[in-house]
Amino acid sequence: MSNKSKGSNMERELVKLFAANGWRAARVAGSGVGDEAPCDIIAGKMGRRGYVVEVKSSRKNTIYIKKSQIEDFMKFSEMISVKPVLAVRFLREGWLFVDLKHLKDTGKFWAISIDTAKERGKRFSQYFDEGTAEKESAYFYE
């Protein structure tokens, strides 16, 4: 299975997770192809703040993301007034949702380690719970 199809399967899995929890979510056409798609998933729920989601998974201990990709992702989320979140999945760890402020600057890339994701990330119900998401004081960075 190619990396592109693995990524698409991960995105579909997350869309189903959103739906199972009462959210509406859609994969963005062209995500993962060139620089045309600014995010992987857009999600919303009636009466709640919307989210754009960048989906990453790895068998390694660190995920590296191009700085330009994160910049475009942040600009897009600001443009449509929704909150950006990184959905990461490391081998046998399940989904963790991480705010962008927890990414580490490596010079050429932004990076998230499995340890940081486990320490700072939250499970779906923790991140998107009615009370938790609304209590966040900053859209992007604190």
d(CA 13, CA 31): 15
113-134 average pLDDT score: 84
Could you tell me the pLDDT band of residue 120, with boundaries at 50, 70 and 90?
Answer: very high
Residue 14 lies in a domain: yes
Q: Is 31 a catalytic residue?
A: yes
Domain-located, residue 137:
no
Whole domain around residue 51: which residue ranges?
Answer: 3-132
- How many whole angstroms separate alpha carbon 65 and alpha carbon 115? 17
Query: Looking at 11-20, 105-114, 132-141, which range is the least confident one?
Result: 132-141
Query: Is position 138 within any domain?
Result: no
Query: Does 104 map to a domain?
Result: yes
Q: What is the mean pLDDT of residues 97-112?
A: 97
Q: What is the number of structural domains in the chain?
A: 1
- Residue 66 in any domain: the answer is yes
Is 93 part of any domain? yes
Q: Please check whether residue 141 lies inside any domain of the structure.
A: no
Q: What pLDDT does 37 receive?
A: 78
> How far is it, in rounded angstroms, from Cα 70 to Cα 128?
21
CATH number (domain holding residue 47): 3.40.1350.10
Please provide the DSSP assignment of 82-114 as one string.
-EEEEEEEETTTEEEEE-GGGPEE-SSEEEEEH
pLDDT confidence of residue 16 = 96
Neighbours of 87 (CB within 10 A): 24
Active-site residue identified among 5, 31, 58, 68: 31
Is residue 90 in some structural domain?
yes
The burial class, CB within 10 Å (0-12 / 13-18 / 19+), for 110 is buried
Report how far residue 105's alpha carbon sits from residue 61's, in angstroms, rounded to the nearest whole number: 16
Least confident of 29-33, 53-57, 80-84, 134-138: 134-138
